[in-house]
Structures are given as structure tokens and as C-alpha cells.
Amino acid sequence: MRLLFLGDMVGKTGRTAVWQRLPGLISDLKLDFVIVNGENAAGGFGITEDIFLETINAGADVVTTGNHVWDQKEAVSFCERHDQFLRPANYPAGTPGKGSGIFYARNGARILVANIMGRVFMHPELDDPFKSAEAILDACPLKEQADAVVFDFHAEATSEKQCFGHFVDGRASFVVGTHTHVPTADHQILNGGTAYMSDAGMCGDYDSSLGMEKEEPLNRFISKMPKGRFEAAHGPATICGVGVEISDRTGLAEKIAPLRLGARLAETLPEFWR
């Protein structure tokens, strides 16, 4: 089974690039399942229902989020209408929407996707991500109720991300980090068979500060005084993500490689899909 994860879409340039390229990627790479993180898709802050639906129409099977999930007020209502929209599962009980679910891949496989948010340097500080993941896995074990298990771990600290990967190693097919908007070079298969990457990177303009026009962030580092608002950068986007090949027999990873397409970073496609 072939699964593609695309990192945080940032602003119009990021989401438009994903919408334009994703249908072709699904066809050319014979993808069975696609997950896209959309928490920065609306001007860099949150996601609207229209953007969510357009991302699904482009071929995404699930849209995950993170700490910016509620930045657009309409998300509080539309999250209840769409099973394919996930907010972090470790929000307190009673929070609108859901943090995990079972979805069906194009080959008929049952995919458990869970969105978890870390707590180190993150706001708001949510419930224990490790306990939340344990409860999700207990309710839907790999190769029992699910043919594959994927975690989007939305967190700042790479140490927390790595420890989470080791925590679910052998019980999940794939753990991918989001939030930092910078693709890491540590894609690997852990000892127990779980594919892991600390951060998938973003889908957005890399001539920026994390997808934002660089002048205002730079000003705040130098002067410590705001002069204006952060605005999403509008230059040509690079799509960043990671591809994983998962065993139909075991539900564990067999191959992993980054995907980068666009104007700024060196392009790469998973060699095993060429």
C-alpha cells in the first residue's frame, strides 16, 4: 500500500500548489491514500470549510490540523460535519470534532489516522499525548481493527517527536511530525517497523520565515517591536511531504522517502515509486 503525507499547507500559494499537483501525483504514483495537514491553509492561520472541501476534492483522504485548528471561527462548527477533518485527539473531552478515525484506502484497506499534539513549547498545552495515543491504539490495534495506523504528531520539540515514534514503534505503520514547517532529513524505519520522520516540512513559499513574509518576523527579532501583522508569503510554493510503502501483510513500513516538488528546494520523489 502506498501512502503520501503532505506537510502543513501555508496560505494561498501552498494550498493552490497542492490542489494543482495532487491529482497528478495520485495517478502517476498510484497512491492508495493521502493525508494533508491543513492547519495553516487560510492565510497562514487555520482553515475554512471551503479550503477543506477543495483539498478533499483534489484527492486528500484526510485533513489533519494542530494548534491553529480554531483560528478560523467557522472550524468549530464545520468540524462536526466532516469525518475527514481531524483536530488533535488530545483536546479535552467535549471538544468539538474528532481526533482520529478509520478511513478506507483506494485498495480497500482500513486506515486508522490519528492527529496528536505535543506539549513541549506548545500552546495550548493539551492532555498527555502518550496516554491519548495509547487509548487510540488500545481501541483499534494494528492488524485487528486497522490494516494501517498513521499518526500526525504536531509538535515543536524533536525530542518529543522522536520519543513518541519510539513509544508507538511496532504498533503504528507511520509517525510523521508537523508544525515546524522545515523538512527534516531523518526519515527512517524504526526497529519495530514503524516509518518515522520528525517533520514533513510545509507546502508553501520557502523564500519566507516558515511560510510568512519574512520582513515582519525579521523586524521582531531585531527590534522586539511589532510593526504589522504576519502575512503568508505569496511566492512560488514547494510541496513537501513523505511517501511510505506499507506491507499489506503486517501493516508495518517497508520503505520511506521524502517528496519535494517546486521552486525552491531540490526536487525529490521517492525512488521506489518512479
* Enzyme catalytic residues: 68
What is the C-alpha to C-alpha distance for residues 12 and 235, in angstroms, rounded to an integer? 10
- How many C-beta neighbours within 10 Å does residue 84 have? 17
What is the C-alpha to C-alpha distance for residues 251 and 3, in angstroms, rounded to an integer? 12
C-alpha cell at 192: 519495530
- 49, burial (CB in 10 Å: exposed 0-12, middle 13-18, buried 19+): middle
What is the C-alpha to C-alpha distance for residues 256 and 237, in angstroms, rounded to an integer? 23
User: 3-state DSSP call for residue 9?
Assistant: strand
